[in-house]
A and B are shown apart, each in its own frame.
Chain A
Amino acid sequence: MNVEPPVRRVYVAGMADGNPEPAASRGAAPGLKPGRAPWAVPGARPLVQFEAVVKRFGGVTAVDRVSLDIYEREFFALLGPSGCGKTTLLRMLAGFEIPTEGRILLDGQDLARVPPHKRPVNMMFQNYALFPHLTVEGNIAFGLRQDGMAKSAIAARVKEMLALVKLEGYGWRKPHQLSGGQRQRVALARALAKRPRVLLLDEPLSALDRKLREETRFELIDLQDNLGLTFVMVTHDQDEAMTLADRIGVMNAGSLAQVAPPAAVYEQPNSRWVADFVGDINLIEGIVASVGLGETVIGARAGGRLRVAQNVEAKPGATVWLALRPEKIQIDTQPPAAFDANCLAGQVADIGYLGDVSHYKVKLDNGLALKVSIANRVRLVERPIGWGDRVWLSFAPEACVVLTQ
């Protein structure tokens, strides 16, 4: 197996500004991270290639012509609702399902005739699938034994893996003697022990409770950074995908709806479906009134004109949707002074106080209902905006995206 020493991820060719970013700043900056975007490099060879892959179970199409490239040392997340085909896609890469049509390539080699036990990929199962009759050490060593590795080398690797997942001293325990979090670590250590070309993670954190899940996220990121491996994860949890992934593939009904870095998926969704699935969003239907000079004017169907700082690829008269995230709207009890902003008046219909943020549902005068969320920056003893209050919502032309599909 191709074993590489753990190195920091650095892409020399095509690096945006030549500064390899330290791992700590991951996820901090929106958009593409400099030096961390092999998918944007022309001519870069992908590690995993799905070529028009189709999978049908009887008459049901689970995966519908998916083409996708995943690059070396990338952390790729397949995100979608249950039943969207993301797990099937992962299982096809592992070899547990055979594509009905299309090809899957790893390092340029077609995997069609390679059975699961000969593929240089390892999977971490959703329920962990630890062997209950083997100890923690036995579980981790299982894959290494299949390779005919020397006993001393296996012992050394097992020890290294136990240290990596901070489970020293647990080697002799059986899986049923471990907590859920510990089992998750054993499953991870077992899948990593063989240093796979690609590590597949099927809902890796879904069985953990919330606090542990958040801690483990950052550990996973560090692990991937330090080992320099390629991770492909399946998840239905968008927070998980946003925090962990370099790129997210949003799946819907068997096809990939959008493949982009987390910030792009959130800020520039390419369709109403993606906008609606990832995070909270207000969708306002309207008709293009005019396009030009980096500004589009849209006449909302419910009434009112909205300005968007974006050249929309649609002719005047076309129906479009204006997508607006709730946290990008400002809410005031008086008409705002700024003239360049879009402004809509209405009445508070509902308030949800979550501690860190408050969600407001505002019924506009034109009949639309918009969701607004405000970070509670000061201690909120007496709520300044209450039920039934008359409010003005405003948002900058840069704050929204126009969707044509």
Chain B
Amino acid sequence: MRKGPSLFNVTSVALGLAFLYLPIVILVIYSFNASRLVTVWGGWSTRWYVELWNDAAMLEAAWISLRIAALSATLATVLGTLAAVALVRAGRFRGRTAFSAMIYAPLVMPEVITGLALLLLFVALNVDRGFWTVTAAHTTLTMCFVAVVVQSRLLDFDRSLEEAAMDLGCPPLKTFFTITLPLIFPAVAAGWLLAFTLSLDDLVIASFTTGPGATTLPIRIYSEVRLGVKPQINAICTVMIAVVAFGVIVAALLAKRGELVRARRAAKA
């Protein structure tokens, strides 16, 4: 038997990665373009990063987007996890089918409809549109994604672990926090990251529900692009990619370090 990946495997992995990441790589390269024209290569330069640093409106939009994304992702994670627990654990309660259908509906609902519906709701409630309405809208949008991710983890979660904890004297709520939550944490974290990125990139719902003083980054970029793509936009996108990549790498390293520490302890004992 041959060792190592076959030519077929290498090719398919390379093609897959190229499909996913080639556009991003091009974007990153062009963010260092010295030319004012986006499509013409004029040598290496960091001038667009300097210009970006001086573009207060763009930075403000990025800051708003990050805050909305972090806040709505956190809210969505709490609500989505609770919904997943209810769906998996509560057994066959009255209206369970309706509840699960309602949880999943936003997954397939066109964003235009969700956005319009929320806009009508906020108008009817006479709420001032802005930071908080976008946060609430993003929470409703992303909560169902978290619920789906967490639910799939909970479905193959071994219930006897919880029973064992209770058997050893741990009350039910404490069992959830000391046993269940740590074990489903990867799914919860993945749900949070998913919600964060969904919120960060949402344009449609945000433009329906936002108001003065709460222009998110996608809205800002979109309105600028309508006047022609400026090289700053490549720069800010590269920065966002760097932030996300940094977060993912740190998380992975933390997990790896935890493993190493445990292994060293085991070796010492």
Q: Which residues of A line the B interface, CB within 8 A?
A: 94-96, 115-119, 121-123, 125-127, 129-133, 135, 142-143, 146-147, 169-174, 177, 190-191, 194
Write out, one digit per residue, whether chain B residues 164-180 have a CB within 8 A of any chain A CB (1) or not (0): 11111111100100010
Contact yes or no, B170 A117, CB < 8 A: yes
Contact yes or no, A131 B172, CB < 8 A: no
- B94 CB to closest chain A CB, in angstroms? 16
Please classify how large the interface on chain B is, using the bins under 10, 10 to 19, 20 to 34, 35 or more. Answer: 20 to 34
Within 8 A of A (CB), among B217-269: 262, 265-266, 268-269
- A60 CB to closest chain B CB, in angstroms? 16
Name 26 A/B residue pairs within 8 A (Cβ), A-sorted: A94-B167, A95-B166, A96-B163, A116-B166, A117-B169, A117-B170, A117-B171, A121-B167, A123-B163, A125-B160, A127-B160, A129-B161, A130-B164, A131-B179, A132-B183, A133-B182, A143-B170, A146-B170, A171-B269, A172-B265, A172-B266, A177-B266, A190-B164, A190-B168, A194-B168, A194-B169
Contact yes or no, A123 B266, CB < 8 A: no
The reply on B156 being an interface residue by CB < 8 A is no
For chain B, what secondary structure do more than half of its interface residues adopt (helix, strand, loop), or is it mixed? Answer: helix
Chain A's closest residue to B164 (CB) is A129
Q: Bound complex: CA of A173 vs CA of B158, how far in Å?
A: 21
Q: Bound complex: CA of A127 vs CA of B158, how far in Å?
A: 10
Given contact pairs A123-B164, A170-B269, a sample of 14 additional A-B residue pairs in the complex whose CB atoms are under 8 Å apart: A96-B163, A117-B168, A117-B172, A119-B167, A122-B167, A132-B183, A133-B183, A135-B262, A142-B168, A143-B168, A146-B169, A169-B269, A171-B269, A172-B268
Q: Bound complex: CA of A21 vs CA of B170, how far in Å?
A: 39
Q: Nearest 5 CB-CB pairs, A to B? A: A143-B168, A146-B169, A129-B164, A129-B160, A172-B265
Q: Give the chain A neighbours of B265 by CB distance below 8 A.
A: 135, 172
Q: Give the chain B neighbours of A171 by CB distance below 8 A.
A: 269
Contact yes or no, B163 A122, CB < 8 A: no
- A221 CB to closest chain B CB, in angstroms? 23
Q: Bound complex: CA of A170 vs CA of B266, how far in Å?
A: 7
Q: Give the chain A neighbours of B175 by CB distance below 8 A.
A: 117
Contact yes or no, B163 A117, CB < 8 A: no
Q: Give the chain B neighbours of A121 by CB distance below 8 A.
A: 167
Q: Give the chain A neighbours of B163 by CB distance below 8 A.
A: 94, 96, 116, 123, 125, 129
Task: Report which of B165, B262, B268 forms a contact with A142, defined as CB distance below 8 A.
Answer: B165
Q: Give the chain A neighbours of B168 by CB distance below 8 A.
A: 117, 122, 142-143, 146, 190, 194
Q: Give the chain B neighbours of A127 by CB distance below 8 A.
A: 158, 160
* Number of residue pairs A-B, CB distance < 8 angstroms: 76
- B159 CB to closest chain A CB, in angstroms? 9
Chain A's closest residue to B171 (CB) is A117
Q: Give the chain A neighbours of B164 by CB distance below 8 A.
A: 123, 125, 129-131, 190
Q: Give the chain B neighbours of A146 by CB distance below 8 A.
A: 168-170
Q: Give the chain A neighbours of B167 by CB distance below 8 A.
A: 94-95, 116-117, 119, 121-123, 191
Q: Give the chain B neighbours of A173 by CB distance below 8 A.
A: 266, 269
Contact yes or no, B262 A172, CB < 8 A: yes
Chain A's closest residue to B267 (CB) is A172
- A379 CB to closest chain B CB, in angstroms? 45
- A63 CB to closest chain B CB, in angstroms? 18
Chain B's closest residue to A171 (CB) is B269
- B254 CB to closest chain A CB, in angstroms? 15
Q: Bound complex: CA of A399 vs CA of B253, how far in Å?
A: 71
Contact yes or no, B183 A147, CB < 8 A: no
Greatest chain A CB density within 10 A among B158, B168, B170, B269 is at B168
Q: Give the chain A neighbours of B171 by CB distance below 8 A.
A: 117
Chain A's closest residue to B162 (CB) is A129
Chain A's closest residue to B268 (CB) is A172
Indicate whether A142 sits within 8 Å of B170 (C-beta atoms), given known contacts A125-B163, A127-B160, A131-B165: yes
- B106 CB to closest chain A CB, in angstroms? 32
Greatest chain A CB density within 10 A among B161, B166, B169, B266 is at B169
Chain B's closest residue to A173 (CB) is B266
Q: Bound complex: CA of A147 vs CA of B171, how far in Å?
A: 11
Chain A's closest residue to B169 (CB) is A146
- A136 CB to closest chain B CB, in angstroms? 10
Q: Give the chain A neighbours of B179 by CB distance below 8 A.
A: 131
Q: Bound complex: CA of A115 vs CA of B183, how far in Å?
A: 24
Chain A's closest residue to B263 (CB) is A177
- B156 CB to closest chain A CB, in angstroms? 13
Q: Bound complex: CA of A172 vs CA of B268, how far in Å?
A: 9
Chain B's closest residue to A168 (CB) is B269
Q: Give the chain B neighbours of A117 by CB distance below 8 A.
A: 166-172, 175
- B169 CB to closest chain A CB, in angstroms? 4
Chain A's closest residue to B262 (CB) is A174
- B152 CB to closest chain A CB, in angstroms? 18
Q: Give the chain B neighbours of A129 by CB distance below 8 A.
A: 158, 160-161, 163-164
Q: Give the chain B neighbours of A122 by CB distance below 8 A.
A: 167-168
- B153 CB to closest chain A CB, in angstroms? 13
- B194 CB to closest chain A CB, in angstroms? 23
Within 8 A of A (CB), among B63-91: none
Chain A's closest residue to B161 (CB) is A129
